[in-house]
Amino acid sequence: MNSGLVAGATLLALLAITFAFFNPLTLFSPPHVPGSKDHLHTARILHVTGAVGPESLVFDSHGGGPYTGVADGRILKWEGEDRGWTEFAFTSSNRSDCVRPFAPELEHICGRPLGLKFDKKSGDLYIADAYLGLKVVGPTGGLATKVVTEVDGQPFHFTNDMDISEDEDVIYFTDSSTIFQRRQFMLVLLSGDKTGRLMKYDKSTKEVKVLLRGLSFPNGVALSKDGSFVLVAETTTCRILQLWLHGPKAGQVDTFAVVPGFPDNVRRNSEGQFWVALHAKGSPFAKWVSSNPWAGKMLIKLGFNFKQLHSSFAGWKPHAAAVKLSDKGDILEVLEDCEGKTLKFISEVEEKDGKLWIASVLMPFIGIYGL
């Protein structure tokens, strides 16, 4: 018998059993988060003209920006209401075919900038490009140059996010998978892939070292205010992991927090707290599939397309959720746009001057929410 038919029959049987015990609406719907505030729909929208997917946001040392990387490989800078968005940099020199705002099949050619961080001392902008590795561009912008693209002779496959230790001149960054690329990120979730890594790059020696292996879709990265630990979001498991860098626990890995959805980028505010952007809240179905790789592999075999798989994980209902954590990992606040009226599929929350600047890897705009 065709293996796809067997997989489909098995999955349907399991779903039938599940439906007998659970309300299907509850099974697939984004869950209610106790104590959350449905306030993000009041955010102001700032459209990114002619572009899609402002995944990460960063301000320079003079307060300029934000800067953001979009799906066609460019880094854009917000110059205020009068000038709007201007082109600041790009990660690939192959720009002739990069004319569409969203063309996943060309990402390996055009580049796909994800995490962004400024080196405050030099003014250089470091870029985690999903396909081209770590790159850097000077304060005046232009074509970014290569920093590093491999470790131990193995090329990075899905460079995702980073943070910079100014004191140690070290960049901590994630490579989400050694098997799948960014445009296949749903397969990372569904297949149970555990090939992700957290690494560090020493800018002085130009050496790369793997700090953690075997991670399930490592994503956002953020250093603590005192530099004693680094956080890494593990998207598949809905956990924020804490790797101690200094002190008596150096080298130890703890679970810093479990969040109510699939975390993307993590960003520290001026008080040492952390904002975690949730790509989607985890419905019972999504969490069950992501914790049972055999079920995810069945869904892959059944030939569902990206939109169908993605929608099932989002509960067929686009929404937005952001979690604020203390420096101890306690959940302090959860902000939502439960109906997705204004924001959805957010990828980063950057707190600055009493406002939250909110990015989305899939939408053509960013949000600005006043605290």
For residue range 215-260, what is the model confidence (pLDDT) as tens digits?
999 999 999 999 999 999 999 999 999 999 999 999 999 999 999 9
Sketch out the chain's domains with CATH numbers.
Answer: 23-370 (2.120.10.30)
Question: 211, 222, 220, 258: which is closest to 237 by C-alpha?
Answer: 258
pLDDT given at position 222: 99
Rounded to an integer, the average pLDDT of 202-212 is: 97
Q: What percent of the chain has pLDDT over 90?
A: 80
pLDDT range class, residue 92, cuts 50, 70, 90: very high
pLDDT given at position 11: 53
For residue 91, give every residue at least 6 positions away whose Cβ sits within 8 Å of its Cβ, in sequence order, or none.
Answer: 69, 73, 75, 111, 112, 113, 127, 129, 132, 135, 144
DSSP H helices in 22-105? 24-28
As beta bridge partners, residue 320 has 337
pLDDT given at position 20: 46
For residue 52, give every residue at least 6 positions away whose Cβ sits within 8 Å of its Cβ, in sequence order, or none.
Answer: 70, 71, 72, 101, 102, 362, 363, 364
Q: Which residue has the higher pLDDT, 16 or 133?
A: 133
Average pLDDT of the chain to the nearest whole number = 92
**Which CB contacts under 8 angstroms, 24+ apart, belong to 151-159?**
151/197, 151/199, 151/208, 151/209, 151/210, 152/210, 154/178, 157/181, 158/130, 158/182, 158/185, 158/188, 158/196, 159/114, 159/128, 159/129, 159/130, 159/131, 159/132, 159/133, 159/134
Q: Are 233 and 243 in contact (CB under 8 A)?
A: no
Question: 84, 80, 53: which is closest to 69 by C-alpha?
Answer: 53
Q: Are 162 and 115 in contact (CB under 8 A)?
A: yes
Rounded to an integer, the average pLDDT of 95-107 is: 91
**Residue found under tokens 């920093």:** 147
Predicted TM-score (pTM) of the model is 0.93
- Does residue 6 carry a pLDDT above 80? no
Rounded to an integer, the average pLDDT of 2-8 is: 53
Sheet of 85-90, strands arranged across: 57-58, 67-69, 74-78, 85-90, 142-143
For residue 270, count CB atoms less than 10 angstroms from its CB and return exposed for 0-12, middle for 13-18, buried for 19 or more: exposed
- Least confidently predicted of 104-108, 127-131, 220-224: 104-108
Rounded to an integer, the average pLDDT of 89-116 is: 94
pLDDT range class, residue 205, cuts 50, 70, 90: very high
